[in-house]
Amino acid sequence: MLCPYCKEEMLKGLIVGQKGELKWYEHEKSEDLLKERLGIGGEKISINKNFMPVINSYKCLKCEKLIVDLNENKE
């Protein structure tokens, strides 16, 4: 998938909730999938609000896409 902003290829990944935070793992790397199952590694992308992990995002109702700006989700 191409980035709607810079038109470069985007990485496919998973957003996984565990241990009170949301993490992103690159989907194509088998070692990341193993780490995801063990709850280690990944890139923390959530912020904590009232002891609950949340992430700010934008949804396009027409094309059913979610956009997450990681700069908006830093503590």
Report the predicted TM-score, pTM, of the whole model to 2 decimal places: 0.70
The reply to whether 24 falls in a domain is: yes
Domain count of the chain? Answer: 1
- pLDDT truncated to tens, each residue of the chain (75 aa)? 888 888 888 888 888 887 788 888 887 665 666 776 777 777 888 888 777 888 888 888 888 888 888 888 876
How far is Cα 16 from Cα 31, in angstroms, rounded to an integer? 15
- What are the backbone dihedrals phi and psi of residue 57, each rounded to the nearest 5 degrees, phi first? -155, 170
Structural domain includes residue 7: no
**Burial letters 22-59, b for 16+ CB under 10 A, else e:** bbbbeeeeeebeeebeeeeebeebbbeeeeebebeeee
Q: Which domain holds residue 39?
A: 13-73
What local confidence, expressed as pLDDT, does residue 48 receive? 84
Q: Is there a domain that residue 8 lies in? A: no
Within a domain: 66 = yes
Give yes or no for a contact between 26 and 35, defined as CB atoms under 8 angstroms apart. no
Give the pLDDT confidence score for residue 27 in this predicted structure. Answer: 74
